Amino acid sequence: MWNSIHLLAARYVYAKLCKFLWSDNKKLKCVLPPSRRRKVSFVDVRDIAAVAVQTLTSNDDSQHKGKAYTVTGGQALSYRQAAEILSKEVGKKIDYVNISDEDARKAMNGMGMEERFIDGMMELYNIIIAGHLSQTTNTVEQIIGRKPIPFEQFARDNVKTFN
């Protein structure tokens, strides 16, 4: 079972989407990334874990040996759509504000993030803007036999975090 390495590549997890909402002061009520309204195939970490467990513990090691899997959610969402879903599920208004790159840098700097981390986040946002994270895969369903956890379910399961 452990004689081969399996590669799992997760696109963008739901929790990353909510980074700005999980600040210590919980005063932020908006999603800020400069995504230019592009969609992202966010995925729940529970789906990533389930795929990892299945591929690493399968009795038939040859089934996954040497394979690379890209794990995504079942649908791509824009940050605006995600903010609307969060608003509905947690019962409070959360807006998406499409800010400039400069304002995004200032916001992250104001949150105490290091410059090199900010640079990395800006690179990620440019990948989103280019549309490279919008494609979905059927990996979750193919490997574990169920559909990926939808963002609505993630929001319901984590409602206390947002209140």
Domain ranges in the chain are 7-151
pTM: 0.81
Secondary structure class of 97 (helix, strand, coil): coil
Closest to 65 in 3D by CA, of 148, 154, 1, 146: 1
Closest to 34 in 3D by CA, of 109, 137, 105: 105
CATH number of 7-151: 3.40.50.720
- Alpha helices (H) in the chain, listed in sequence order: 14-17, 45-57, 79-90, 101-110, 115-129, 139-144, 151-157, 159-162
Tell the burial category of 104 from Cβ atoms under 10 Å away from its Cβ (0-12, 13-18, 19+): buried
Identify the bridge partners of residue 7 per DSSP, sorted by sequence position: 68
Q: What is the pLDDT of residue 113?
A: 87
What are the tokens at 158? 């984590």
Secondary structure class of 70 (helix, strand, coil): strand
Per-residue pLDDT of the chain (163 residues; tens, 9 = 90+): 444 445 556 666 776 666 554 444 355 555 667 787 899 999 999 999 999 999 888 887 778 888 888 999 999 999 889 889 988 988 888 888 888 899 889 988 988 889 999 999 899 889 989 999 999 999 999 999 999 999 999 989 988 877 7
Neighbours of 126 (CB within 10 A): 14
Cα(14)–Cα(16) distance, integer angstroms: 5
